Amino acid sequence: MTKWVYIFGEGVTDGDATMRNLLGGKGANLAEMARLGLPVPPGFTITTEVCTRFYEDNQQYPEELKGQILAALEAIGKLTGRTFGDAAHPLLLSVRSGARVSMPGMMDTVLNLGLNDEAVAALARESNDERFAYDSYRRFIQMYSDVVLGVDGDFFEEIIEDYKDENDLDLDTDLSAEDWKAVIVSFKAKTAEETGEPFPEDPMEQLWGAVGAVFGSWMLPRAKTYRRLHELPEDWGTAVNVQAMVFGNMGEGSATGVAFSRNPSTGENALYGEFLVNAQGEDVVAGIRTPQDLTEAARIQAGSDKPSLEALMPEVFGEFKDACIKLESHYRDMQDMEFTVERGKLWMLQTRNGKRTLKAALKIAVDLAEQGLISKEEAVKRIDPASLDQLLHPTIAPDAELDELAVGLPASPGAACGEIVFNSDEAEAAKADGRNIILVRVETSPEDIHGMHASEGILTSRGGMTSHAAVVARGMGKPCVAGAGTVRVDMRGETMVADGRSFKKGDLITIDGGSGKVYAGRVQMQQPELSGDFQRLMQWADGVRRLRVRANAETPADVKTALSFGAEGIGLCRTEHMFFDGDRITSVREMILADTLQERRVALDKLLPMQRGDFVEIFDLMEDLPVTIRLLDPPLHEFLPKTDAEIAEVATGMGVDPEDLRERAEELHEFNPMLGNRGCRLLISYPEVAEMQARAIFEAAVEVSRAKGKAVHPEIMVPLVGLKAELDTVKARIEAMAEAVEAETGEKLEFTIGTMIELPRAALLSDDIAQSAEFFSFGTNDLTQTTFGISRDDAGSFLGTYQEKGLLEKDPFVSLDSDGVGALVQMAAEKGRSVRPALKLGICGEHGGDPASIAFCEKTGLDYVSCSPFRVPVARLAAAQAMLAGADSGTL
């Protein structure tokens, strides 16, 4: 026979905390508390399986359920010395819902169930408090009618208000037993009128009604919505907890309250909570009366003149404090508890692991580990890596005054304030003048990189979470609100309209990339604080992880940020970003549009010293940490001049006719630049470019190693290789250049040459390619594009639908598609190492900062991940957790 009902109470407890799936969170923890010997009113839990069964079985209860409930009621009766439905010593019950995870939208608790005209008289006699008894009875009718019978709760509040008016009474507490009796008559009449049936007097009917309502609430639209939003499966079902009542409203010696074993917003190790004297149920959180502090310390700090529980009921307080300590060390985590005091006796009604802010989470994890309650590894496991993002950017101050203008997508976290500017050149100029800028555009393109760099934050009116603005901003660690559709941007008129108000160039706004909100004016902010606890936990994570963490960085500012966040190298230094800076773009355009080798060399000669300077700066900052430099990669069209002014500028620089130049630019036009002349193809079409870049790298290496007296080891990476021959062709140029620089300087160069694996062909033939490559870096952005055949820039219009319809679980550009793209990565890693066992393997796509993708990299045995500087701490923690998860599952 299936066991559908589990009893808890002194000496009779069936369940325990491990049975959360079957008993729900609340039920499992009530059982566990009873087992620990804590004072828990006895009761029983109807399992989640009954709920699942109920819905599978055409809303029928399993046959044995009734008998099991009756047996459980009898067991509770024995423990309490009462009988359910008895006229002399009635057992009164609470009926509480409880799914596996706490779930708003489920049925509210019904208290005082079992009361009727007879039982209320017994309650009055037994408590020697008639007023209390009738107050409890009216509360029951009110709750039951509302929650179970669906009668609007406002009716009852109206009846009470009318009664008070007619009888010249002010507060609920002014109502006597006789008053409540009169109110009860009106309550029952109202319920009968609304439901067409008399209020149920039979306790058994009341119980089945409440149990049915809990199961019914599992399928209410609000519960369904919550499950959909939080991806909780329907077949989990909810449990029902039926428990003997204890009364916090039995006069001045009674109370009810809620508590956290530590402060949930700061993490401070001090009992924290509130209570109310002579109150029941949710009175504390309902806000009708102002609750009192639990401890004297909290009372003094709050400057309250209402006594604390510690002062008011020292013995109960002492017992409760001991219970908190016991529960916390038992669950080895901060607890969130509910309790009631009935005439000086403490009762524990609920415990669960408490919700907390990230700041508190860090402090609590570190403190628990230092107290020896949990291991350092456990502390490392308890922090969600993605949540660290919050700590790494300035944020809106909690008490800031806000004038909200619009809401867009929270594309890149952090808050930023500045003057609005509508184009990138102006942003750059304003930055040079020392002004703070928010770049506002309909959308951004690769040519806005310098403007984005110069801005404090970016606001776009169009585009999704993977739009250019969003991806680049995240990479730069700049706050970004994308796709704020209600903001009208007029690029020509240099104005924007939001919330019916018009803003012009130079006006101040603040954006919050964590919430997607846009505010008028300057909003007060707080700076990121890498607190002691945070650093401590990161050190512990570093002690655990195997994967190295590098950063994708090319500007000195990014490199410094990466280092300060603990990057152990640069996994991707994109040289093209250096080409967009300032005047350089003109030289790059001259180089690309050159008709002859001679012309091209002239342009390259202008670029060489700039590139060398960049590398000197980076090598200098990175000391002896590895730096992977990728040779020129992006599609040509990103460099081509577009406007007449741009063409004229380049033409002047080259001394050619603008018309000829325009023709040349048109010749270079490509239909699908993403798959066009880019990456190593460009380096093969224009070998001088590879030579110039190699020379810049080598000369910088010589300069820095001479200055520091120690060798620099650049790793030179050739992008978009599909054929071994491509790599060999470029590699020959690089090696020849190395020989030349060695001959010129008399220094011996130490460097490696490797390749990106970002095309399926490269992955398929990686054993071949590994014969020439000394390292692989998986460029998973392009590898995802080319494996799926989906252009990332165009994916917005359909990938969202795919996710909604469940065709794809996650956006593969955010979280690595481990089945498909991952299979290629894994194969390439294996094949590559089969010919070159020491082959160094890393990943440098957006995925390098995504915890799930990092777990994949750990499993696949890569050497490092490389991510944007601001995600380095996220990656360090995720790498540690991936290592620990592997150890737990026995794969290590």
- List residues near ligand ADP by CB under 6 A: 41, 94, 96, 109, 111, 243, 245-246, 256, 281-282, 338, 340, 349-350
206 binds, among Mg ion, ligand ADP, none (CB under 5 to 8 A by kind): none
- Residue 350, SS3 per DSSP: strand
Residue 328: CB minimum distance to Mg ion, A: 18
The answer to whether 468 is a known catalytic residue is yes
- Residue 245, SS3 per DSSP: coil
Nearer to Mg ion, 107 or 879 (CB): 107
For residue 236, what is the DSSP state?
A: G
Nearer to Mg ion, 347 or 579 (CB): 347
Residue 258: CB minimum distance to ligand ADP, A: 7
Q: Quick one: which H or E segment has residue 509?
A: strand 508-512
- Angle, helices 597-622 vs 556-564, to 10°: value is 30
Going by C-beta distance under 8 Å and a sequence separation of 6 or more, which residues neighbour residue 614? 554, 575, 578, 696, 700
Nearer to Mg ion, 350 or 705 (CB): 350
d(CA 513, CA 478): 9
Residue 255: CB minimum distance to ligand ADP, A: 10
For residue 276, what is the DSSP state?
A: E
β-strand 570-574 against 627-630: which pairing, if any? parallel
Please identify, among the stretches 15-23, 139-147, 350-358, 466-474, the one whose residues bind Mg ion according to the rule CB under 5 A.
350-358
281 binds, among ligand ADP, Mg ion, none (CB under 5 to 8 A by kind): ligand ADP
223 close to 106: Cβ distance less than 8 angstroms: yes
137 close to 115: Cβ distance less than 8 angstroms: yes
Q: Read off φ and ψ for residue 65, nearest 5 degrees.
A: -60, -45
Structure tokens at 805: 């319809």
Q: Read off φ and ψ for residue 552, nearest 5 degrees.
A: -90, 110
Structure tokens at 235: 């077949």
Residue 6: CB minimum distance to ligand ADP, A: 16
Residue 118: CB minimum distance to ligand ADP, A: 21
Nearer to Mg ion, 338 or 533 (CB): 338
Sheet arrangement for strand 292-293 = 292-293, 272-277, 255-260, 335-342, 345-353
Q: Please, is 809 exposed, middle or buried when counting C-beta atoms within 10 Å of its C-beta (0-12, 13-18, 19+)? A: exposed
Binding to Mg ion, residues 73-102 (CB under 5 A): none
586 binds, among Mg ion, ligand ADP, none (CB under 5 to 8 A by kind): none
Residue 105: CB minimum distance to ligand ADP, A: 11
Structure tokens at 595: 């008709």
Nearer to ligand ADP, 39 or 446 (CB): 39
Note the Cα 217 to chain centre separation in Å: 28
853 binds, among ligand ADP, Mg ion, none (CB under 5 to 8 A by kind): none
Residue 482: CB minimum distance to ligand ADP, A: 37
Residue 92: CB minimum distance to ligand ADP, A: 9
434, 446, 363, 424: which is closest to 793 by C-alpha?
Answer: 446
Nearer to ligand ADP, 96 or 545 (CB): 96
570 close to 627: Cβ distance less than 8 angstroms: yes
d(CA 583, CA 412): 29
Q: How many residues bind Mg ion (CB under 5 A)?
A: 2
Indicate the residue type of 435.
Answer: R
d(CA 335, CA 353): 5
873 close to 565: Cβ distance less than 8 angstroms: yes
β-strand 548-552 against 525-526: which pairing, if any? unpaired
Nearer to ligand ADP, 245 or 700 (CB): 245
646 binds, among ligand ADP, Mg ion, none (CB under 5 to 8 A by kind): none
The catalytically annotated residue of 450, 453, 468, 847 is 468
Residue 763: CB minimum distance to ligand ADP, A: 51
Indicate the residue type of 5.
Answer: V
3-state secondary structure 49-62: HHHHHHHHCCCCCC
For residue 485, what is the DSSP state?
A: T
461 binds Mg ion (CB under 5 A): no
Handedness of CA 689, 695, 701, 703 (dihedral sign): negative
Nearer to Mg ion, 139 or 876 (CB): 139
For residue 482, what is the DSSP state?
A: E
94 binds, among ligand ADP, Mg ion, none (CB under 5 to 8 A by kind): ligand ADP
245 binds, among ligand ADP, Mg ion, none (CB under 5 to 8 A by kind): ligand ADP
Q: Please, is 150 exposed, middle or buried when counting C-beta atoms within 10 Å of its C-beta (0-12, 13-18, 19+)? A: exposed
For residue 148, what is the DSSP state?
A: I
- Angle, helices 851-860 vs 872-888, to 10°: value is 50
83 binds, among Mg ion, ligand ADP, none (CB under 5 to 8 A by kind): none
Nearer to Mg ion, 24 or 203 (CB): 24
561 binds Mg ion (CB under 5 A): no
Q: Which of 206, 256, 278, 350 binds Mg ion (CB under 5 A)?
A: 350
Residue 425: CB minimum distance to ligand ADP, A: 57
- Residue 259, SS3 per DSSP: strand
**Four-CA torsion 816, 821, 825, 827, nearest 10 degrees:** 140
The answer to whether 51 is a known catalytic residue is no
Please identify, among the stretches 303-311, 335-343, 780-788, 793-801, the one whose residues bind Mg ion according to the rule CB under 5 A.
335-343
Nearer to Mg ion, 241 or 350 (CB): 350
Please identify, among the stretches 120-128, 156-164, 249-257, 334-342, the one whose residues bind Mg ion according to the rule CB under 5 A.
334-342
Please identify, among the stretches 344-352, 414-422, 473-481, 580-588, the one whose residues bind Mg ion according to the rule CB under 5 A.
344-352
Nearer to ligand ADP, 68 or 112 (CB): 112
839 binds, among Mg ion, ligand ADP, none (CB under 5 to 8 A by kind): none
Nearer to ligand ADP, 252 or 819 (CB): 252
340 binds, among ligand ADP, Mg ion, none (CB under 5 to 8 A by kind): ligand ADP
Q: Which residue is nearest to Mg ion (CB)?
A: 350
Structure tokens at 82: 């009462």
The catalytically annotated residue of 573, 680, 844, 867 is 844
- Residue 629, SS3 per DSSP: strand
3-state secondary structure 498-560: ECCEEEECCCEEEEECCCCEEEECCCCEECCCCCHHHHHHHHHHHHHCCCEEEEECCCHHHHH
What is the total residue count of the chain? Answer: 892
Residue 96: CB minimum distance to ligand ADP, A: 3
218, 259, 221: which is closest to 103 by C-alpha?
Answer: 218
369 close to 451: Cβ distance less than 8 angstroms: no
Please identify, among the stretches 79-87, 343-351, 730-738, 808-816, the one whose residues bind Mg ion according to the rule CB under 5 A.
343-351
Applying CB under 5 A, the residues found at the interface with Mg ion are 338, 350
Catalytic positions are 468, 844
